[in-house]
Amino acid sequence: MPEFTLEPAMRLISKMRKSYGKKFADQWAGVGVEELAEEMVDQYQGLTVEDFNRGIARMKRQAWPPTVPEFREWCEPESDEWLGSHEAWAIAEKSIGLDGQEMTVVWTEQMAQAFNRCEDLVKTGNKYQRAEAKKIFCDAYDRLVVQAKDKGLKPIYVTSLGTDKDQQITAIQKATVEGFLTASEGNALLEHKETKSEQLNDSERYKAIAQEALARLGPLIKRESIKKMADEHLG
């Protein structure tokens, strides 16, 4: 992750000046440009290029210039905020399919730990047991999030891969769109993945290539075998 320095801070200030004009000048009257840039450098460490692009995109929709902390909030993805327990449950319960199959899910450590306490009820239970599982999950998740917040932690999303190849791709794409994964993280996870139909097409293509190769080599193999037999007979 590149360090945010004075040079990009000055470029950001210049862009804000052009976007907001007098509003920007009035907001920062009495504050020197270098002083403002130094404050940005101090507060914007850790942001990626994607984060800054997100903040600049929001600038185009806002009538008034942001304060330094506000612009950082604009840059940070929504996933930097902890999900409520019901939202978290909606994600976690999808980690198990209706047939008990493990499914791909993008979630936090807190979701995974909370779900571990009720997973058996989800796998084997009816709708009443599933309702009980949700209650267990929500209570556990709320406690874990409180503990994480007390430590100053932000949610970190990780990908737990299931066995269904098509569903892996769908889940990763959905998590990327919703902001739980960055575009680069999503692309890295999808780089070597193929759907079942793509895998079948590859298999058929390789089979066709092998058959063509055998067809070309067949006559040569036969001629070589006949020549070998003739040489042995004459010998």
Q: Beta partners for 107?
A: 158
Domain boundaries, the chain: 6-76, 81-190, 195-235
What is each CA distance from 151 to 47, 48, 157, 168, 225, in whole angstroms? 21, 23, 17, 32, 76
In whole angstroms, give the CA distance from residue 134 to residue 147: 20
Query: Hey, CA dihedral for 21, 26, 30, 34, is it positive or negative?
Result: negative
Residue closest to 28 by CA, chosen among 85, 60, 71: 71
Model pTM greater than 0.85? no
Work out the angle between the directed axes of helices 49-59 and 68-75 (0-180°, nearest 10): 110
Q: Answer yes or no: are the C-beta atoms of 158 and 107 closer than 8 Å.
A: yes
Give me the tens of pLDDT residue by residue for the chain, a chain 235 residues long: 578 999 999 999 999 999 999 999 999 999 999 999 999 999 999 888 888 998 999 898 899 999 999 999 888 766 557 888 999 999 999 999 877 889 999 999 999 999 999 999 998 878 889 999 999 999 999 999 989 887 878 899 999 998 888 989 998 998 888 888 888 888 888 886 655 555 455 556 556 666 666 666 566 555 555 455 455 555 5
Query: Hey, CA dihedral for 124, 113, 50, 71, is it positive or negative?
Result: positive
